[in-house]
Structure 1
Amino acid sequence: MGLRVVGAGLPRTGTTSLKKALERLLGAPCYHMRELFGRPDDAAVWRDACAGAMPDWQRFLAGYAAGVDWPVSWFWRELSAEYPDALVLLSRRESAERWYQSMDRTVLEGARRLTSGNFDGARPPMGAHLTPEQAGAMQGMIGALFGGAFDDPHDRDKVIAAYERHLAEVRATVPAHRLLEWQPADGWEPLCAALDLPIPDEPFPHENTTADMRARISDINSP
């Protein structure tokens, strides 16, 4: 099958909604961080990729038509080269400040725990069902992603600068004919136009609000 869409957007840019929307449009799975709930052994592959040992992407992502969110979007350069006919989808928020507000209350909480080494009383990031090896790989992967993206997850200005730098790098690298910038308010229309698909006669999905994610974080970190 091969990827038809390579997500290049950072977390908290509507990626969970995009996962559901792209699966509806393409009729096949979309890889997202949530895939690791069902495929925890993948964490070791992503961890190794963060260290420079790339997998056979075609084999590793076989069966997927798209990928969004970390860890996929961390490798937007490699994946856009591996799948030269794929659309590169740069999801973003309406402003850097709105993105930061969402990140600060959700994803960055995990980054701060990782950088401080404070895991006391917390279950492994993906839940208590992980083996020690899987939990170690998961923490290694997440630590590599956060460490690579943000110099200091406690520093608001540095985090926002990293977000803006990421957007600029994607825009400067991906040819215009392959790049689609999208934000949650855009809905179906730009996606369908870029993929040459009809617009579904149903509301665009809106998944994983800040409140939803904070509830999951609270559950994961309960002793």
Structure 2
Amino acid sequence: MGQTPSHPQPNARLQVIAAGLPRTGTTSLSLALSILLNGPVYHAGIQHILSYPDEKPLRRAIKLLERTPYRNASDRQVVEDTLKGLFDSGYVAVADSPYAQFTPELLHLYPHTIVLCTTRPTQPWLHSLSQLLRAGSLATTYKTALVPIARLFPTYTPLLTSTRWKEIYSHPDGSPMEMYEVPERHVEWLKEVVPKERLFFVDVREGWGPICEALGMEVPEGVPFPRVNDGDEVVRIAREFVRRGMVRWAVVGSVLVVLGAVMWGIWWKST
């Protein structure tokens, strides 16, 4: 997806919450922030998918989502402890869902952080999101049930849209918003929960300028802005999960055939 999973760096501190919705340039922004802040950025999508076969990042996200909406003080404490345990370990920024939807908790834990929200015109965003959803459907069938990480997506995907997402992107009567309504609501929600002086909206098509201005930094001289279009890569990864899953199912089938033949042989000799 244009990047590899990042690893915590000792003494790195969280400085930026990249709170844009998925498919709004969060990968490009993550790469840009890793350059500007000289440290690892925790991009949830990359950590969840490309950390194969490590399931801990995805299990952590599931743990967060299972505690929302908050039913009691214990739920919130678990969420904050989980977030703090992750980002105290040494990341300079966090990006992508579901962490973008935990911006209020992250601001409470790290009040010095800047919130950058990537934006994108609605129609191109919907088209790009449809690629992601198709890939998700491809990777959440029985074909990937034996693949580490992929086997967790049938649990993770429904939680992603039925917990914190539903809390934020619903109408006053509780009915969920249509996807085309989500970007506008997301912007409104961030304005409600983030102090005005800490919130900035950026379009990665404009390159370094707006990002550096928001962070009070100079544009890095001679460094091209990282522009990553990873839609096709998402589909490729989903298909790779399916391939790995089918290989595993073939092995299981072969073992069952052999065991069946052995058992039949034993039974035949005993008769």
TM range (shorter): 0.7 to 0.9
Shift of 1:136: 5.2
1:88 is aligned, of 115, 124, 135, to 115
Q: CA RMSD in A?
A: 2.5
Aligned pairs, number: 206
Gap change, CA 1:209 and 1:135, over 3 Å in 2? closer
Q: Structure 1 stretch 4-13 or stretch 43-52: which is displaced more? A: 43-52
**What is the DSSP-based 3-state SS (H/G/I as helix, E as strand, rest coil) of the residue aligned with 1:202?**
coil
Please tell me whether the aligned partners of residues 26 and 96 of structure 2 are also in contact (alpha carbons under 8 angstroms).
yes
For residue 132 of structure 2, what is the aligned residue in structure 1? Answer: 107
TM alignment of 1:14-25, pairs within 5 A: 14-25=25-36
For residue 94 of structure 2, what is the aligned residue in structure 1? Answer: 67
Shift of 1:110: 4.6
For residue 49 of structure 1, what is the aligned residue in structure 2? Answer: 64
Work out whether 1:10 is the aligned partner of 2:35.
no
For residue 204 of structure 2, what is the aligned residue in structure 1? Answer: 184
CA distance in 2, matches of 1:113, 1:146: 18
Partner letter of residue 40 of structure 1? E
Please tell me whether the aligned partners of residues 60 and 82 of structure 2 are also in contact (alpha carbons under 8 angstroms).
no
Gap change, CA 1:210 and 1:57, over 3 Å in 2? closer
Instruction: Report the TM-score, using the length of structure 1 for normalisation.
Output: 0.81
CA distance in 2, matches of 1:7, 1:108: 21
Gap change, CA 1:113 and 1:212, over 3 Å in 2? closer
Work out whether 1:31 is the aligned partner of 2:51.
no
Partner letter of residue 218 of structure 1? R
TM alignment of 1:143-154, pairs within 5 A: 143-148=158-163, 149=165
Consecutive unaligned residues in structure 1, runs of 5 or more: 152-156
2:142 is aligned, of 120, 124, 134, to 120
**What is the DSSP-based 3-state SS (H/G/I as helix, E as strand, rest coil) of the residue aligned with 1:170?**
helix
The share of aligned pairs that are identical, in percent, is 27
For residue 142 of structure 1, what is the aligned residue in structure 2? Answer: 157
Following superposition, which runs of at least 4 residues in structure 1 exceed 4 angstroms of deviation?
A: 110-114, 134-138
CA distance in 2, matches of 1:205, 1:24: 10
For residue 154 of structure 1, what is the aligned residue in structure 2? Answer: none
Consecutive unaligned residues in structure 2, runs of 5 or more: 1-11, 68-77, 170-176, 247-271
Please tell me whether the aligned partners of residues 2 and 58 of structure 1 are also in contact (alpha carbons under 8 angstroms).
no
Instruction: Report the TM-score, using the length of structure 2 for normalisation.
Output: 0.68
Work out whether 1:210 is the aligned partner of 2:231.
yes
1:166 is aligned, of 179, 182, 186, to 186
CA distance in 2, matches of 1:49, 1:66: 18
Partner letter of residue 108 of structure 1? L
1:76 is aligned, of 103, 112, 117, to 103
For residue 241 of structure 2, what is the aligned residue in structure 1? Answer: 220
Higher relative contact order (CA 8 A, sep 6+): 1
CA distance in 2, matches of 1:28, 1:159: 33
